[in-house]
Amino acid sequence: MRVVVFGAGAVGGHLAARLAAHGPAAGIEVAAVARGPQLAAMTQRGITLWIGEERTSAPIHATDRPETLGHQDVVLVTMKSSVLPGAAQPLRTLIGPETTVIFAMNGIPWWYLHRLKDGGMPRPDLSHLDPGGVLERAVGLERVVGCMINSANAIAEPGVIRNSPGTRNRFTLGEPDGTISRRLQTISQAFERAGIPTPLTATIRVDIWDKLVRNLSTSPICALTGEPIGVLGRHPELFALSKALMREGLAVCAAYGIHIDLDPERAYGARPSSTHKSSMLQDFERDRPPEIDGLLTAVQAFARAAGIATPHLDAITALVIEKARRMGLYPPAVW
């Protein structure tokens, strides 16, 4: 099985390291698409992953020219949704007639409405997640597999990934139509042989919303304060805001028939203390476009289509967008 990790940053680097170290014994030939210092480090020293005190390190074929890799069996896309449309054409060079493209990312994915049984609810406008349909044309919806990431990581230094304590490191795969297809089973079995837990689900959208609601209640607060998630445990006002955001997210997904077993009063314990920096905060710190649309404005689109008020979400989204615009990381306002 030929696999390429497209966007070998924090999460992509985690997967690339494990596939490079253990994939050959599982019949997997892996390559990585990266750029800048991350690419230079991977080319010179390989890729290293730290999970606690356990070190996984391996050489890997890395490039910033995906067109040199040829058609793949699996393209594992781990780029942030904020920059994904710009990668549509390079992605196309990796795709052959039998290629499966797995999108492992946070928030509402661009393909979300594909084969969705909506139960008569109005469909939100998610066109801003795939401007002009460039991803749909380059990839093809029939090739898409969804992936819910349960793995928190950060780039400790170029070529070195540090996994956050307490994360389950599972990568749940699901078809947009809810079937447990043969291609899902084949990919999962190969990844499991390489030591990567990849459970299968018939309800990938439930898994997506479950993580999204949690991210919704922490990521924008971390982005605005410049603090890890533990900031919620030091300021009761921020903790109250986090729970309000979670309640709004739960109300939105419930309107679309997705019910998540999550209690805002108990979700993070009595006092959150995690030292993990949210992915949105990491993006701001590295001057990279944050995933505002996938995590925030897409939820607003669902809410508005269903007629649900989200005052806390609306306020914090406006503030995050303004911060991103001042840093040149989000498109200017169009009146």
> 278-313, pLDDT tens digit by residue?
999 999 999 999 999 999 999 999 999 999 999 999
Segments making up each domain of the chain, as ranges: 2-202, 208-325
CA angle 330, 86, 298 (to 5 degrees): 50
Distance of CA 285 to the CA centre of its chain: 18
On whether the CB atoms of residues 223 and 273 are closer than 8 A, the answer is no
What integer pLDDT is reported at residue 24 of this predicted model? 96
Overall fold of domain 2-202: Rossmann fold (3.40.50)
pLDDT tens digits, 263-279 = 998 888 778 888 889 99
DSSP, collapsed to helix, strand or coil, labels residue 31 as: strand
What integer pLDDT is reported at residue 20 of this predicted model? 97
What integer pLDDT is reported at residue 117 of this predicted model? 83
pLDDT tens digits, 110-128 = 999 999 987 788 999 999 9
Annotated active-site residue in 211, 243, 277, 323 = 211
In the block, residue with structure tokens 């040829």: 70
pLDDT tens digits, 237-264 = 999 999 999 999 999 999 999 999 999 9
**From CA 322, how far away is CA 308, in angstroms rounded?**
23
DSSP-derived letter for residue 110 is T
pLDDT tens digits, 158-186 = 999 999 887 899 999 999 999 999 999 99
What integer pLDDT is reported at residue 118 of this predicted model? 73
**Where is 72: in which H helix or E strand?**
strand 72-77
Q: Choose between 266 and 92: higher pLDDT.
A: 92
What integer pLDDT is reported at residue 334 of this predicted model? 79
**From CA 60, how far away is CA 47, in angstroms rounded?**
7
What integer pLDDT is reported at residue 269 of this predicted model? 76
The answer on pLDDT for 34 being more than 90 is yes
243 is catalytic: no
DSSP, collapsed to helix, strand or coil, labels residue 189 as: helix
Binned at pLDDT 50, 70 and 90, residue 54 comes out as: very high
In the block, residue with structure tokens 């043969």: 182
The answer on pLDDT for 66 being more than 90 is yes
- Give the residue-averaged pLDDT of 319-326: 98
Binned at pLDDT 50, 70 and 90, residue 335 comes out as: confident
Q: Which CATH code for domain 208-325? A: 1.10.1040.10
Say if pTM beats, i.e. exceeds, 0.75: yes
- Give the residue-averaged pLDDT of 74-89: 95
Cα-based distances in Å from 246 to 115, 212, 218, 281: 27, 9, 9, 18
Looking at the chain, the whole-number percentage of residues with pLDDT higher than 90 is 92
What integer pLDDT is reported at residue 98 of this predicted model? 96
